[in-house]
């Protein structure tokens, strides 16, 4: 149990900061003459003894008794550290909430005075400072000079004078912390302080609602639905002392606040401010992985916002984001894969029949376990079989587990089904007669299927029990496919080759539908690996061992070996009568094929000749295959960087696609040239990049031919190192300032005055023009990023008047939206449950179906176009943006949107969706780009109220 340690010497102070293993240290600066310090001391001791803080060092320092020491602190951006420090700060604020005013540090004549207080910058007590190692993270103190303002006078008349005085001072302090332009991540100290105020005086909510929502990161006014779904991935706070709220801290604060301020409101509709508060709580619960609680909170918010359109939109947007996060698109494909369901159903029925014929099976019935239950489909198949006594199912995804609970509760089955929201390796249950699991990805082993199965067979299955599946085989072939290499590395972007750093995929292999990917097969398909799940000792002993001898492949067509494509086949039963396979020709609809690169560079690929014999070295790891190709001359494939000193950064697939999209960069270059040409030639220009992803647009020669300076934000020190290296190797002339900041914080730093601010405060007449670049406003998946629109809208709302003194251009100038109706059976199968595999209805899952689709291959969807493409609207991104957004959300007296677009059918068919193309625009015209074969858009509603219409010669608004 943690104890409070009292120190007064420099050596003791140094010892706390320089432990062998750096840990969290909380310093409580107090004084013997300070009455609030005496009152706080017992509570501080209680805090030190709380179980949550058992690994934290709590230290008390008397400012008048301590020796001088040099703190020498640096900031840290560790996410784990931010979470813990914010939670501690929150707890400390409740100490402040319990006691009155603070005291300025006075200077009585003592043996050791004015030493540690001066060094630590202590001007008031009590003050808390939190460290990890020798890095200070946060300082929590109260000031006496707060400039008290008018707040809730009527409410405060009903409380005691000491509380009224404290609330007045605390509100002024919180508003001072928020400042005029708070960061979009929120301000932890203000959030904790406002929470504690409202816990004491809930009736102040109406007065403090907007301040509280801003403190938690909801930067738009409480009645503005555009404040929803803010991005919280902006990295360390750019403004010193304003750290991002961790998910756990956000959830702890909001969960304590919401029941108090919403009390008595449940029977009616909530105002938009309280709906926003519930939405923030639901999002925090989801961020922390508490999906079940998040669904309950957000559904409550939606139900309570029925009479308020802004609140209703806010709640619906939050629920939509949660649905997208909770259920991945491939779940619908899997449920709709009838052959897969039938094969699993046959295998389970055969196993139950076999077990039931045993004496113990006839007597007691079969106990079964479903590992990776998902929506509960296989559990329900099993529960409906004669001879099954009970079914247990485990699912680690909280949201899926809650959906499975609803699905199972709605079905009739002859035996109980018990759900466990946990991984199978955490289960402590009596052993089972039958275990079936479906935890396989396109590469078979990527979801840690092998450790899961081995653990289940050893710890959860009876010695004579049956396991489904029984065995697996992996097949593969070498291919030449230059386009596939773009899924793994960026070699050229922004119109220039990248030198100085490596931009790579964060995954070791990708999943592709090879039947629609251009490629040349260099070898015939061969079996790579066979895994018998009955032989657990053999599998355990050979994990991580290179298979000897290596596999010999015969080259049937000359070409460059870019990748290994592989797929698998499962024998669900021991006899091999129930089988699933995922080959590119005739395989299951549920899985694509795995593509593992053999090189990151076309120039480094091994060139094979027809008739060559090459060796493929393989070894099975717990989470996948590791391969090495060796040609006839002994040359080996390599994924090693040719310049090992260059830094690298792992990117998501969408970023890789955009960085490698040459058509996109042609559009960016055209828009930049248009922006520069619209400015007077003699006027200097500063480029401000507010892209959320890595700002590689800074490497464009077009920018450096005109820009006198560049400001951009990056989200981590690693990204900053990568960009610095790329810029150094590009030898481009403009001065670049890289800030550890979110897009909104970059705007705050560089507008309206240029960055860095001049020491002598230059007049507005000498300010350079600004070109604001948001290169990733349209993602590679085809969606328009709402966060970017919100950042720009907030810019014009808050700084519009001040920007009149500075020439400003936005790139892109506008976004043009084009719409087109489609019919696609495959689109419906990928986004909704339309089948009843095994006769089981799991259509409740459609509650998690999203309203949009992104980045789906046109060759896979095979759409039938039902209308011509229509120009729906052009959205300006300059000063007219807030007005345009308001017009988009405007509704008539009947509650229907005022803005409508007419689409006229040109062919017969069933409308499954509307394809949306978001294009950059300049001078009022869209900049067309060559299609990349990926479609994005809106799904047509298809439920009990809305049915997809069958079109003949009609029009739709």
| Residue whose token pair is 């091999």 | 576
Asked if residue 689 lies in contact with residue 698, where contact means CB atoms within 8 angstroms, the answer is: yes
Query: What phi, psi does 137 have (nearest 5°)?
Result: -110, -45
Euclidean distance between CA atoms 189 and 139, whole angstroms = 10
- Cβ atoms 324, 229 nearer than 8 A: no
- Give the CA-trace dihedral at 257, 258, 259, 260, to 10 degrees: 50
Give start and end residues of each alpha helix (H) in 838-911. Answer: 858-861, 881-889
What does the alpha-carbon distance between residue 289 and residue 307 come to, in Å, rounded to a whole number?
Answer: 30
Closest CA to 421 of 318, 281, 289, 252: 289
Helices 291-303 & 309-326, crossing angle to 10 degrees?
160
DSSP notation for 682-728: TS-EEEEE--SS--GGGG-HHHHTTEEEEEEEESSHHHHHHHHHHHH
The C-alpha atoms of residue 126 and residue 137 are separated, in whole angstroms, by 17
**Residues 125, 37: Cα–Cα separation, whole Å:** 7
Joined tokens for residue 346: 């046959």
Q: What angle in degrees, to the nearest 10, is found between the helix axes of 247-261 and 188-200? A: 20
- Sign for the CA dihedral angle at 636, 642, 644, 650 comes to negative
Q: Are 249 and 216 in contact (CB under 8 A)?
A: no
The SS3 assignment for 122 reads: coil
- The structure tokens listed for 743 are 């897009």
Q: Which of 844, 848, 840, 846 is nearest to 341 (CA)?
A: 840
The answer to whether 722 and 649 are in contact (CB under 8 A) is yes
Tokens 């004084």 sit at which residue? 31
Using omega within 30 degrees of 0 as the cis cutoff, is the peptide bond preceding 538 cis? no
Annotation says 37 is catalytic: yes
- Distances in Å between the alpha carbon of 616 and those of 36, 217, 511, 564, 608? 73, 52, 21, 10, 13
Which residue in this structure is represented by tokens 């507008």? 751
Give the side-chain half-sphere CA count within 13 A for 141. 24
Cα 905 from Cα 915, distance rounded (Å): 14
> Does residue 918 carry a catalytic annotation?
no
Q: Which residues pair with 490 in a beta bridge?
A: 503
Largest CA distance in the chain: 95
Residue 393 DSSP SS3: strand
Segments in 157-271 forming alpha helices (H): 161-178, 188-200, 205-215, 247-261
What sign does the CA torsion over 830, 831, 833, 835 have?
Answer: negative
Helix residue spans in 227-370 (DSSP H): 247-261, 272-287, 291-303, 309-326, 330-336, 338-356, 359-364
Phi-psi label, residue 568: left if phi above 0, alpha if psi -120 to 50, beta otherwise: beta
Angle at 175 between CA 169 and CA 181, to 5 degrees: 165
Helix (H/G/I), strand (E/B), else coil: 418: strand
Please identify which of the residues 16, 37, 511, 918 carries the catalytic annotation.
37
The string of DSSP letters for 438-453 reads ----TTSSTTSHHHHH
Strands (DSSP E) along 784-862, which ranges?
808-811, 814-823, 852-857
List the catalytic residue out of 16, 34, 83, 394.
Answer: 34
User: How far apart, in whole angstroms, are the C-alpha atoms of residue 171 and residue 211?
Assistant: 9
Q: What is the Cα–Cα distance from 689 to 668, expressed in whole angstroms?
A: 13
Residues with active-site annotation: 34, 37
């Amino acid at each position: 149990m943690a104890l409070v340690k009292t120190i007064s010497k420099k050596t003791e102070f140094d010892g706390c900061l320089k432990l062998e293993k750096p840990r969290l240290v909380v310093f409580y600066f107090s004084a013997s003459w300070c009455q609030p310090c005496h009152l706080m001391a017992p509570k501080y001791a209680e805090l030190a003894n709380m179980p949550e803080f058992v690994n934290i060092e709590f230290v008390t320092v008397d400012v008048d008794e301590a020796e001088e020491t040099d703190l020498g602190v640096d900031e840290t951006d560790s996410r784990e550290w931010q979470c813990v420090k914010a939670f501690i700060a929150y707890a400390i604020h409740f100490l402040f909430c319990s006691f009155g005013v603070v005291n300025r540090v006075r200077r009585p004549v003592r043996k050791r005075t004015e030493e540690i207080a001066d060094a630590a910058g202590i001007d008031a007590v009590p003050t808390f400072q939190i460290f990890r190692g020798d890095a200070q993270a946060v300082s929590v103190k109260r000031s006496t000079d707060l400039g008290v303002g008018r707040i809730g006078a009527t409410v405060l008349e009903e409380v005691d004078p000491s509380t009224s005085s404290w609330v007045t001072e605390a509100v002024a302090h919180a508003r001072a912390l928020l400042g005029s332009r708070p960061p979009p991540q929120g301000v932890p100290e203000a959030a904790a302080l406002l929470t504690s105020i409202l816990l004491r005086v809930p009736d102040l909510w109406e007065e403090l609602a907007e301040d509280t929502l801003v403190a938690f990161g909801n930067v738009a006014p409480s009645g503005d639905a555009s404040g929803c779904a803010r991005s919280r991935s902006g990295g360390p706070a750019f403004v010193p002392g304003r750290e991002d709220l961790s998910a756990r801290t956000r959830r702890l604060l909001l969960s304590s606040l919401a029941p108090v301020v919403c009390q008595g409101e449940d029977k009616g509709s909530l105002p938009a401010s309280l709906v926003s508060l519930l939405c923030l709580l639901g999002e925090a619960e989801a961020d922390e992985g508490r999906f079940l609680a998040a669904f309950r909170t957000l559904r409550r918010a939606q139900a309570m916002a029925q009479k308020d359109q802004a609140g209703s939109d806010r709640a619906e947007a939050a629920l939509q984001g949660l649905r997208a996060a909770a259920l991945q698109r491939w779940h619908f494909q899997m449920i709709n894969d009838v052959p897969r369901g039938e094969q699993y159903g046959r295998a389970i029925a055969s196993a139950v029949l076999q077990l039931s014929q045993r004496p113990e099976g006839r007597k007691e019935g079969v106990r079964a376990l479903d590992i990776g239950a998902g929506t509960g489909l296989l559990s329900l198949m099993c529960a409906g079989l004669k001879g099954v006594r009970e079914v247990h199912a485990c699912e680690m995804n909280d949201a899926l587990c809650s959906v499975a609970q609803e699905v199972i509760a709605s079905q009739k089955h002859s035996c109980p089904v018990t759900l466990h929201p946990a991984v199978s390796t955490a289960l402590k249950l009596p052993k089972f007669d039958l275990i079936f699991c479906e935890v396989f990805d396109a590469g078979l082993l990527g979801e840690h299927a092998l450790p899961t199965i081995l653990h289940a067979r050893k710890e959860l299955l009876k010695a004579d029990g049956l396991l489904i599946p029984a065995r697996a085989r992996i097949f593969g072939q070498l291919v030449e496919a230059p386009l596939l290499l773009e899924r793994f590395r960026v070699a050229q972007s922004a119109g220039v080759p990248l030198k100085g750093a490596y931009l790579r995929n964060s995954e070791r292999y990708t999943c592709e539908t090879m039947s629609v990917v251009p490629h040349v097969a260099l070898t015939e398909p061969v079996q790579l690996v066979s895994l018998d799940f009955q032989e657990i000792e053999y599998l355990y002993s050979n994990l991580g061992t290179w298979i000897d001898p290596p596999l010999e492949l015969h080259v049937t067509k000359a070409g460059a070996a870019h990748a290994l494509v592989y797929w698998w086949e499962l024998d669900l039963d021991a006899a091999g009568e129930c089988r699933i396979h995922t080959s590119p020709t005739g395989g299951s609809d549920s899985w694509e094929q795995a593509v593992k690169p053999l090189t990151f560079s076309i120039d480094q690929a091994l060139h094979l000749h027809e008739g060559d014999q090459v060796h493929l070295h393989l070894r099975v790891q717990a989470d996948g295959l590791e391969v090495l190709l060796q040609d006839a001359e002994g040359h080996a494939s390599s994924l090693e960087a040719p310049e090992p000193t260059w830094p690298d950064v792992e990117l998501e697939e969408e970023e890789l696609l955009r960085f490698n999209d040459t058509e996109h960069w042609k559009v960016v270059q055209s828009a930049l040239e248009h922006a520069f040409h619209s400015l007077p030639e003699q006027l200097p220009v500063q480029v401000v990049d507010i892209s959320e992803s890595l700002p590689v647009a800074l490497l464009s020669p077009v920018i450096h031919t005109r820009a006198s300076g560049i400001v951009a934000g990056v989200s981590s020190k690693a990204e900053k190192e990568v960009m610095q290296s790329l810029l150094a190797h590009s030898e481009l002339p403009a001065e670049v300032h890289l800030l550890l900041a979110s897009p909104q914080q970059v705007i705050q730093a560089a507008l309206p005055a240029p960055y860095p601010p001049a020491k002598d405060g230059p007049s507005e007449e000498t300010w350079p023009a600004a070109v604001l670049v948001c290169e990733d406003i349209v993602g590679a998946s085809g969606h328009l990023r709402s966060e970017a629109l919100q950042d720009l809208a907030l810019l014009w709302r808050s700084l519009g008047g001040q920007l009149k003194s500075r020439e400003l251009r936005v790139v892109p100038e506008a976004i043009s939206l084009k719409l087109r109706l489609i019919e696609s059976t495959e689109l419906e199968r990928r986004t909704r449950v339309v089948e009843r595999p095994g006769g089981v209805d799991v259509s409740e899952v459609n509650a998690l179906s999203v309203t949009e689709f992104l980045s789906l291959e046109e060759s896979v969807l095979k759409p039938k176009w039902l209308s011509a493409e229509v120009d729906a609207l052009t959205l300006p991104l300059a000063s007219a943006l807030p007005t345009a957004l308001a017009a988009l959300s405007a509704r008539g007296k009947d509650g229907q949107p005022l803005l409508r677009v007419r689409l006229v059918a040109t062919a017969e068919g069933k409308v499954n969706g509307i394809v949306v193309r978001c294009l950059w625009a300049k001078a009022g015209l869209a900049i067309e780009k060559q299609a990349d074969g990926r479609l994005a858009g809106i799904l047509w509603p298809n439920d009990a109220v809305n049915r997809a219409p069958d079109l003949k010669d009609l029009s739709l608004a």
